Structure 1
Amino acid sequence: MTTIYIDESGFTGDDLYNPDQRYFVIASTLIGDDEAEQILRRCFPRYQGPEFKFTNIWKRGTNRNGLRSFAQEVPGLADRVFVYIIDKRFSLLIKMFDYLVEPGFYEAELDWYADGWGMRYMNVVHRDLLRHGSEELYDETVRLWDAFARSPSEATLASFAAHVEATIAASAPPLSSMFDLLRKGLMHFRATNPKLEDFADSSEIQVTSVFSTMFYWRQQRSEDFDLVHDESSAFLKQRGLWEAMLRDDVEPQLIQSSNGSKVELPLRVRSTTGVRSQDSAAVQLCDVLAGFAGKAAPGFGDKPKDPFVLELVMEGAGELVQGGVMPHELYIEGPPRRREGPDAVDQMVDLLRPHLDQMAQDRAGHE
């Protein structure tokens, strides 16, 4: 049995369009309390406070040498640390195409998710929005989708649809073609979602990020897991979703992630325990790692704009093993392959069936 510790940074609930908190990070380690405390005290010997918190470390200039020391520790810890980073703006773009465009591919018997094709296509969308459009167009598109996702109604959907139409009229390919896909997707979405108020939880990223973190560790390790997290996290407010993801009464099977990698279910996470962060140096270490990764996130794909962050990346923090939902320069090289059997979403829906059925019963009970 191996214990995995996690903590997070940048969680803003369903408010994914939040320029002040662009990145959401889950940091996880296999490092226990005793070793974690040694690392933190070695790097930040003058730190004062009941627990090590990245926000306190970052805002005090006297901790800069400590952060340099911490960055230098990273390469030696890299095989026991994983950070999962979500660029929330890019995530909104992906969710938009998942709900509006992917269903058309599915009906055409094409597998959007196989071999990571959908993620590679979203890298194309990200690139072309910036290359042929603008930061302002990108922001307005995801802002309007976020407004609908957080408050689904005819009015918020109409505002998004009007933006799509205006962009088609004002642009040329490839932008006009991209937004035409969204227009066609909106027609299908309206036809298949007559009760917009039931379009709920589409902005969920917290539980799915923890699941993706366990997905990574299951690819690395064969033993069962215990999971320990900060009890103040909102993570287990969606206990039903988490328990459905971990259920053992599924046939052993390979499930595919958005990047095309696979892992066998069930994940075999045997316990999930919340602890007071001040009582766990291991959770505090995850807090520091998550906070730092959030600062460094823009530099994992390019050079950081903050010279001090760049220095820390060069000192060793760049060796952090990381994954997540971030744009990359990996693009499609042709159409998706034909769908053969259940795709990644079909598999996830099957896994979550008890949770989804309970949600449907709860909605019916309130009508």
Structure 2
Amino acid sequence: MREIERVISSARYYSMEDSCAKGGVRMECFSVDESGYTGFDLLNPEQPFQGATAIGIDDAEARRLIREHFPTLQASELKYRALARRPANHSRLMALQRDVLTHHKCVTYVCDKRYLLLLMYLDYAVEPFYYERGIDFYEDGQNYSLASVLYTAGPTLLGNGALDRLLASFQYAVKVKSPEALAALVDAARASRWQELPEALRPLAQFSAPECLNAIAAPGVSTDAAFVVLQSVVNRMEAMADGPYRVEHDQSKNLLTYHDLLQRYIRHEDVITFRQSKIASISFPLKLQSVTQVDSKASPAVQLADVMIGAAIEAANTLTGKRAGSLDAKQVLGLYADHQLIHMLPSIDFEDQKRFRQGTQAGQVIDYFAKNFHQP
């Protein structure tokens, strides 16, 4: 994890502008693609990372870039996974990514799904317990630090396999919301060596805290990571866009969740701003005006987004030892400037975490989004 963060922090800075037309009206357009989506199951061992890329580029420019870097391409569309299999394509894939990041607005988001699940566990199975006792559990991002401790030390401290059983029980309880599933979650907490990390396990293990169980069973609460991924990408698109903009994405089944969320974002008319970290905030109403599903075979811009997110997810897998990728992972992430790559990864640099998230409005953000955007 520290290796990924080191490469990210040393990336160079680039920024350019682009726009595309829709119905005769000139409006910036961001093309979006995702990778690693597994619905509510964030423990899928085959896909430990999830992410998305948004690129501000029109199809004509995207088509030109593809022809320039892959002049002999015979396939009906550009797909990272297919291209990366052939070593002869590796230098071309690197050059294409460099061009995109140098000359166009672009953001890529990558999250460790196990870490995200731990954060969700703290949100619903722990935080309500502290809230009822007047304690701000989110102050200065201490929830991120506690999730990082659980991620790195939890497997040892809680006992052999205890953390895995706890997380599996948690995401199942969130999904089915039955009394039996909630009871099984409490049993999993009690079966662990929870006294080693009472800050994270005591609410369930010692008290079976009803406020926590009610939060888990609440309608709309889900471990689907699409909402978190999308919110992060939208934050950056809002910052990058000079004015009103629109989004295009592929017609894949995985992106239907993203499409619905974007539609609800667009319809939301409250005037409000939240600070989420040292560099991130979100304001409503959004500058985002519309979202459209397109056939990726007919959208070179979406194909470029596929290449960007495919390479980034592969790099994360390589640097964390999950499996070796085709491209040099350090070189891939080294193409990105700090503002072009968002990552949600565990970190045990607690002072840095505190500085980064000091003064954030995490509690208010969670309450607001739960009220206005979660599915009933």
Give the AA of the match of 1:265.
F
Tell me what 2:247 maps to.
Answer: 227
Question: Aligned to 1:110, what secondary structure does the other structure show?
Answer: coil
- How far residue 342 of structure 1 moved from its aligned partner, in angstroms, is 7.3
Counterparts in 2 of 1:301-312, with a 5 A limit? 306=324, 308-309=326-327, 311-312=328-329
* Further displaced range: 86-95 or 180-189: 180-189
The 8 Å contact of residues 226 and 258 in structure 2, kept in 1 or not, is answered as no
Give the AA of the match of 1:57.
L
CA separation of 1:84/1:238 partners in 2, compared to 1, >3 Å: closer, same or farther?
closer
Query: TM-score, normalized by length of structure 1?
Result: 0.79
Counterparts in 2 of 1:232-251, with a 5 A limit? 232-237=252-257, 241-250=261-270
Tell me what 1:204 maps to.
Answer: 224
CA separation of 1:346/1:259 partners in 2, compared to 1, >3 Å: closer, same or farther?
farther
The 8 Å contact of residues 207 and 242 in structure 1, kept in 2 or not, is answered as no
Tell me what 2:205 maps to.
Answer: 183
Question: Aligned to 2:192, what secondary structure does the other structure show?
Answer: helix
**Structure with the higher helix share, 1 or 2:** 1
Give the AA of the match of 2:129.
G
The 8 Å contact of residues 314 and 329 in structure 2, kept in 1 or not, is answered as no
Tell me what 1:69 maps to.
Answer: 95
The 8 Å contact of residues 144 and 156 in structure 1, kept in 2 or not, is answered as yes
Q: For residues 226 and 37 of structure 2, what CA distance do their matches in structure 1 show?
A: 8
Tell me what 1:121 maps to.
Answer: 146
CA separation of 1:312/1:57 partners in 2, compared to 1, >3 Å: closer, same or farther?
same
In structure 1, list runs of 5 or more residues that go unmatched.
Answer: 360-367
- How far residue 317 of structure 1 moved from its aligned partner, in angstroms, is 4.7
Question: Aligned to 2:350, what secondary structure does the other structure show?
Answer: coil
CA separation of 1:266/1:260 partners in 2, compared to 1, >3 Å: closer, same or farther?
same
Tell me what 2:299 maps to.
Answer: 280
Q: For residues 159 and 19 of structure 1, what CA distance do their matches in structure 2 show?
A: 22
Counterparts in 2 of 1:50-65, with a 5 A limit? 50-65=76-91
Q: For residues 2 and 323 of structure 1, what CA distance do their matches in structure 2 show?
A: 21
- How far residue 323 of structure 1 moved from its aligned partner, in angstroms, is 1.3
- 2:367 pairs, out of 320, 343, 346, with 346
The CA deviation string for residues 160-215 of structure 1, in whole angstroms up to 9 with x for no partner, is 222211112xx663x3553224425742246636x94x545512222442232111
Tell me what 2:214 maps to.
Answer: 192
The 8 Å contact of residues 33 and 302 in structure 2, kept in 1 or not, is answered as yes
Q: For residues 270 and 21 of structure 1, what CA distance do their matches in structure 2 show?
A: 32
Q: For residues 305 and 153 of structure 1, what CA distance do their matches in structure 2 show?
A: 37
Tell me what 1:3 maps to.
Answer: 29
- How far residue 12 of structure 1 moved from its aligned partner, in angstroms, is 1.6
CA separation of 1:293/1:187 partners in 2, compared to 1, >3 Å: closer, same or farther?
same
Tell me what 1:23 maps to.
Answer: 49
1:82 corresponds to 2:104: no
Count of residues paired in the alignment: 345
Tell me what 1:365 maps to.
Answer: none
1:48 corresponds to 2:74: yes
- 2:125 pairs, out of 92, 100, 105, with 100
Give the AA of the match of 1:345.
I
In structure 2, list runs of 5 or more residues that go unmatched.
Answer: 1-26
- 1:214 pairs, out of 234, 243, 251, with 234
Question: Aligned to 1:270, what secondary structure does the other structure show?
Answer: strand
Q: For residues 185 and 245 of structure 1, what CA distance do their matches in structure 2 show?
A: 38
Q: For residues 133 and 259 of structure 1, what CA distance do their matches in structure 2 show?
A: 32
Question: Aligned to 1:218, what secondary structure does the other structure show?
Answer: helix
- How far residue 346 of structure 1 moved from its aligned partner, in angstroms, is 2.7
1:158 corresponds to 2:183: yes
CA separation of 1:192/1:15 partners in 2, compared to 1, >3 Å: closer, same or farther?
closer
Tell me how large the CA RMSD over aligned residues is. Answer: 3.5
The 8 Å contact of residues 296 and 304 in structure 1, kept in 2 or not, is answered as no
Q: For residues 286 and 185 of structure 1, what CA distance do their matches in structure 2 show?
A: 47
Query: TM-score, normalized by length of structure 2?
Result: 0.78
Counterparts in 2 of 1:312-323, with a 5 A limit? 312-314=329-331, 317-319=334-336, 321-323=340-342
Question: Aligned to 1:319, what secondary structure does the other structure show?
Answer: coil
Tell me what 1:34 maps to.
Answer: 60
